[in-house]
Structure 1
Amino acid sequence: MLQSNSILRLSENDTHSNILALYLSLSDQTSSHNPLDCHISTQFEATNDKIRVELTTLPAELLTEVLKLLTWKDILYLRMTCKYLSEVTRTRAIWAHLIDEYITSKPYPPLLERPIDMYTSGELEHQLLVWTSADLGWVTDDGHAARERSILAETPEFVHLIKGGRWLLVTTDIGAVTYYDLDADNITGVLLIPAQVHKPHPSYKIKMIVEIDTKSPVLSFKIGFFIIGVPIPQDSNPHPTGSKAMFQVWDVTLVLDDSRNGIGLSATELAVFDRPSAIRGILEFSFLGPAIAFIALIPRHGLYTFVLEWTQVVEDASKYYWRILNHASSSSLIQLLPEKRILVASSDYVKLFDYSLVKETLCTAQQSPHSPTLDPIWKPYIGHLFSGYMSMCFSTSDATRINFVSNRHIHSMVIRNASLPDEVPSLFHLVNAPGNGFFISESFLGFARSVAVDFDQDVWLVRYNFPDDESPGLLKYVRKHLKHTFLAMCRCPAVDEDSGRVVVSDYSESRELVIADFALIFTP
C-alpha cells in the first residue's frame, strides 16, 4: 500500500532520488510488465543476440528514438543510472511522444489547454505524471486524499470544474460567474460574467451547462445560461427577477501572456434571447453545439420538448424558429446528441428522436403545438434501471455514451453515431454500489469514473470499465475521508477525471469549497 509520505509534488528541480522513489511507489500499484523491473542496465539487446550496444555510446538523436519505445516508468528508472541518461530522459521529444500516446489511448481523452508545442519538456513530463498518477490514485486504498485544501467563494448556486482540473467556475443565484485558478499559489476569484439577474427569486433557478470545444487548439468552452422556474400565471410579470434574458450563450477562452502561458479566462457574449410569451416555466434543458433543447409548458396544451438553433437567433429577438416535439412529462430528462438527435428519458423508456424530421415553425405569442407526433428511432424499455439521473453525453469517434444510475447500480448506454434503422443501443452494467443509498442523485457520473460524498464526509471514488477493457486486480471503488466537515448534505461534486481533482460544497449558505486532489502527483 502506498503510504502518505511517498506522495510527491514534482517540479523540474526535483532530485533524482525523489523521482526514483516515485517510480518505486507507483510500480507497486500496477500489474503491468516493466521490462526494466528485474535489472537496471544501460545496455539493450538487438534482435541478434550477439550484438550488444551501450546506450551511453549512442548519439543523443538515436538514443531519443530508442527511449520513445519505453514507458514513462522506464524513462524515470533510466534517469537514475547515470548523468548522461539523466539528461537524455529530459528530452522534450520523448515526453511529447508519451503525451501523444497517452491521449490517443483514451476513448474520451484528456485535453491540453494549449498546443503541445507551447509546453516545455518539464511541463509535459509533469502533465503526464499527473494523469497517470490520477489513474493510480483513484484505486489506491489509503483512506485519504493526496492533498486537501479549502477556499472561500461567493455562495454557489452552481459549481463546475473545467476539463483539465485547473479552472473552477462558481455561479451565484443571480448569474454572476467567477473563476478560480486552482493551480495558483494564492487562489483568488476573478469575475468572468457579471450578474444576469437583479435579485434572486424563490420560484426561479439559474442553471448552466458548459460545453468544451475539443477541436480548439487553446482551451475554449461555451456556457449556456437558462433561468429555469415553475410555471407562472399568464398575467404576472414575465421577469419577476429582473433578468436580462431567459437564454444566454457565452464563449470563454484561455488568455495567454507574452510567454504563451495561460494566465486567465475571458468571456464574450454570443447570444441573448428571451423565452417567448407562449411558454411558461422551463423544467429541463440541454445544450450541444448550435442547438438548445428544453422542456416547457404551453398553457392549455401541456409540456412539450422544444429544439432551436441559437446561432440563428438575432440579439433580443422576440420571435424565432424552433421545432416542437412530442408531449413530455415533468419527470423527463433530455440530452442532445450529435447528428441532430435528442434522447428523452423517463421512468420506463429511453427514446431517441431525429429532430431534423420536424419542420421548423415560428414561435408566436399564441403558440399551439401543430406538429404531428414524431416516432422515435427506438424506444427500449429500461424499467427499474433508471431512477431519474443520468450523466452528460460523452462523444467518442464512433459513438455517444451516457451513464445513468439506479439506487444500487450504474449502467451505460452506448449509441452509435451511424446507427442503422431500428438498431437499439448497447446497454452495459458497469458497477454495483457497496451499500444502499450510495449512488444518490447528487453524485458525479463521469465517462469512466464516479464520485459520491456520503453523510460521514467520505468520498467514494468509483471506477468502471466496459467488459472488454477490464483491468484485473484494480479496486472498483475506494473510500477516502475528508478532513473538512459540512453542515448539510453535499451538492453534486465538481470533478475532473483526468487530473483526479474533486471540489465539494454543501447546500447551506457556507462559502467554503473543499478541493481534494486524489492524483498522487499534483501541481504545487
Structure 2
Amino acid sequence: MSLPPTVRFLERLLNVWKWVVLQLKQWTRQCERAHLGRLLGMVLNAFRRLSELRVSGYEATRSAKGIDAPSQPANSLVVLPTELLTLVLAELELRDLRRARCSCRSLYTASKSRAIWLRLFWQLSDSYVLPIIPPRPLETYGAAELESMVLQWTRVDHGWSSCSIRQQPPPQRILDHDWPNTPFALIEGGRWLLTTDKCGSVLVHDLDSPSLATGTHVLIRPEDKRDHVYISKLSVCIDRSSPTLEFNLALSHDYGGGVFNFFVLMLSSFVGRLSTSSRVSIWRVRLVDTTGHRPKLSSKLLNSFYTRVSKVVFDASLLYSLYARIVSPWAVELFNWEDSKSMVHVKSHIHPVPDMASVRLLPGRRVLTGRGSSIHIYAIPECTYHSATLPFDPSENTDAQTPLQVIPIGGPLVIGGISPSYSSYSGTIYICLATAQHIFALITDAEDNETAVIKLIDYSMRFDGTVYALSLHRTLIRQDYMPDSVITLNLLRDEQFDVNEHYWHDNVHRFSITTLDEWSGRVVDHLKDGRIVVIDFLR
C-alpha cells in the first residue's frame, strides 16, 4: 500500500533530522578532543533526548488509515512543548529565526516569545561599541514591540549600508514652509518633527502619516498674539523613565533671526553692550493616544521667564532643571528654569575661550564646550537671581574659569561634529564627536563625574568642507564639493565601519544643520529655498 504524499514528506523530514543529529554528534566529538565541546555536548544531549520523543498523534493517524507503523518512531521538533521550542529558537540568529518561523505554525507561535526578541536585541546592541538605547525602558516593551524594534533597526542598517542605493536614491519628501530656514528638531524615534513659523508657533509633523499636510498640527501657540518673536533654538530632553514618549522642550524666543543675526554678530564686536529682551519657555510634551485616530502630541507650559540676550544664540542644551545656551559675545548662560520667574531668572554663566562651537550639559552640574582641537568641561557656578529689566553683559566678568578637564581630540570639530546627548536609564551620558580624521565617543557618569573618551573609528579619508550628522551608531557626511552625494557610516565594534555613497538632493543649503535619527533612518535638511527635505533610509 503506497503511503500518502504527506506521510512520505514527513518521513523524509525525519531522516534529514536524524542525519543532522548524527553530524552534530560527530562534530561534537571532534570539539571534545580539543576541549571545546563540553557545552556543545550538553546541547547535543538535549537535542538527542528531544529526538527520542514519540509522536502519538502521528501514529494514531497512520493506524486509522490502515498504514503499517514504521520500524522507527516518527520524531519531530514541532511537537515539543512551546517552552522547549522557545529555548531552541533562542539560540538562532535573526536570519535563521525568520526562516524557521515560516516553516510551520508551531515554530511561528514559539518565535513570538518576548525572551527570544529580548536576547536578539542585546545581541544586536553588543555588535556596536556603544549600547543601543531605546526611547523608553525595555521593561515597558512587549514581545510584539521588541520584535518590531529589532526588525526596524536591521532594516535601517540595511538601508544605511546597502550599496544599491547609489543606483536607487532613498525616498525624499519636501515639507513646504512659510518661514525659510526655520529651526527644527527631530524627536528620537524619527516620527515627530518640530518646526516653527514666523508667528512664534511650534508645529509638529507626523512623518509616518501618508501625507505631511494632513499629519501637521500646531503644538504650541504664542502666549501673546502680539508677541511675534523668532524662535531661534529648540532643545529637547527625553524622559526615558516614562512608559510612553515624553520630553521637555525649551524654546528661546528672540527678536530677529536669519541674516539679521549675522549683522548683529558683526555689530557686537564694535558695541560692548548690545542686548535686548528675550524669553525662555519650557514645555512638557507627551504622546496622546487618541482612540480611533492617529496618535498626536500635546503640550503643557512648565515655566516662562524673560532675560537679556545679545540676539545671537549659537547653540543650546537642556538637561533636567538646567538650560544652557551659547550667546555672543562668546559666553555660556546657564539657567535654573525651575526656580526662575517671569521677570526674575536664576542664572550663572561662564566665559571661556572664544569661538565655542557647541554646548552640552552633563550630569553632576557640569557643562561641555567644544572649541578648536579640544573639548573643555567646566563646573557650573552657583546660580544667582537676575532681573530681566537690567542689561546683562557676560563679558563684564573678566575672571577666567579654569576647566575641570581638557580633552584633546586631535583636530578641530567639523560642522555638525557633535551629536545630541543620549542618556541611559542609569544616568550615563553618551556624546559622539567628529573631526576630519576621527570619530570619538564621550562617556560620562553622574555618580563619579568621570569622563572617558574612546575612539570609535579612525579613517584615512579627509573630507574638507563637509557637514556631519552624528548619532551613537551612524554618521552621515555631506560633501560640499559633491552636493549630489553623501557618505554614510555604521559605527561597529573593533573600529569597523561601512562607507557607502548615496545620491542626495543637490539643492541642500550649504550651511544647513543636518539632523539624523538612527532608529527610523530619517535625515532632515534645509534646501536653498528654505524648505525642509526629509530623506528615508528605512527599507
TM-score (norm 2): 0.71
- Matches of 1:496 and 1:504 in 2, distance apart? 12
Deviations 1:113-153 (A, max 9, x none): 698767573x5433321111222332221134675141433
Larger radius of gyration between Structure 1 and Structure 2: 2
Please name the residue that 1:84 is paired with. 106
Query: 1:421-460 counterparts in 2 under 5 A?
Result: 425-428=452-455, 430-432=457-459, 434-437=461-464, 440=466, 442-454=467-479, 455-460=482-487
CA separation of 1:485 and 1:60: change in aligned 2, threshold 3 A: same
- Matches of 2:294 and 2:119 in 1, distance apart? 22
Query: 1:393-432 counterparts in 2 under 5 A?
Result: 393-396=421-424, 397=426, 399-406=428-435, 408-417=436-445, 425-428=452-455, 430-432=457-459
CA separation of 1:325 and 1:133: change in aligned 2, threshold 3 A: same
Please name the residue that 1:335 is paired with. 360
TM-score (norm 1): 0.73
Once the two structures are TM-superposed, the CA of residue 372 in structure 1 deviates from its matched residue by 5.3
Higher relative contact order (CA 8 A, sep 6+): 1
| Unaligned segments of structure 2, at least 5 residues | 1-41, 52-75, 255-260
Please name the residue that 1:35 is paired with. none
CA separation of 1:311 and 1:412: change in aligned 2, threshold 3 A: same
Please provide the CA RMSD for this pair. Answer: 3.8
Contact 1:453/1:459 (CA < 8 Å) preserved in 2? yes
Please name the residue that 1:504 is paired with. 525
Once the two structures are TM-superposed, the CA of residue 444 in structure 1 deviates from its matched residue by 0.9
- Matches of 1:246 and 1:271 in 2, distance apart? 11
CA separation of 1:193 and 1:405: change in aligned 2, threshold 3 A: same
Match of 2:405 among 378, 385, 399: 378
Contact 2:443/2:452 (CA < 8 Å) preserved in 1? yes
| Unaligned segments of structure 1, at least 5 residues | 1-43, 240-244
CA separation of 1:459 and 1:65: change in aligned 2, threshold 3 A: same
- Matches of 1:386 and 1:512 in 2, distance apart? 25
Please name the residue that 1:181 is paired with. 206
Deviations 1:269-321 (A, max 9, x none): 111111148x7754443221110123445xxxx6543322101113x2x2233
Q: Percent identity?
A: 23
- Matches of 2:127 and 2:274 in 1, distance apart? 55
Secondary structure at 2:95 match in 1: helix
- Matches of 1:338 and 1:97 in 2, distance apart? 30
Match of 1:143 among 143, 150, 165: 165
Please name the residue that 2:35 is paired with. none
Match of 2:494 among 452, 467, 470: 470
CA separation of 1:285 and 1:185: change in aligned 2, threshold 3 A: closer
Please name the residue that 1:225 is paired with. 251
Query: 1:10-409 counterparts in 2 under 5 A?
Result: 46-47=44-45, 50-53=48-51, 54-91=76-113, 94-95=116-117, 98-99=120-121, 102=124, 107-111=130-134, 121=144, 124-144=146-166, 147-154=170-177, 155=179, 156-187=181-212, 188=214, 189-195=216-222, 206-227=232-253, 229=261, 230=264, 238=276, 245-258=278-291, 263-276=295-308, 281-296=312-327, 303-314=330-341, 316=342, 318-355=343-380, 358-364=381-387, 365=390, 373-382=400-409, 384-387=411-414, 389-396=417-424, 397=426, 399-406=428-435, 408-409=436-437
Once the two structures are TM-superposed, the CA of residue 264 in structure 1 deviates from its matched residue by 0.9
Deviations 1:337-381 (A, max 9, x none): 1111111222254321221xx333222426576695443212245
Secondary structure at 2:295 match in 1: strand
Once the two structures are TM-superposed, the CA of residue 478 in structure 1 deviates from its matched residue by 0.5
Which deviates more from structure 2 when the two are superposed, residues 448-457 or residues 378-387? 378-387
Secondary structure at 1:384 match in 2: coil
Once the two structures are TM-superposed, the CA of residue 65 in structure 1 deviates from its matched residue by 3.7
Count how many residue pairs are aligned between Structure 1 and Structure 2: 447
CA separation of 1:84 and 1:391: change in aligned 2, threshold 3 A: closer
Please name the residue that 1:27 is paired with. none
Residue identity matched to 1:393: S
Please name the residue that 1:519 is paired with. 538
Residue identity matched to 2:523: V
Of Structure 1 and Structure 2, the greater helix share is in 2
Residue identity matched to 1:288: L
Contact 1:209/1:223 (CA < 8 Å) preserved in 2? yes
- Matches of 1:488 and 1:367 in 2, distance apart? 34
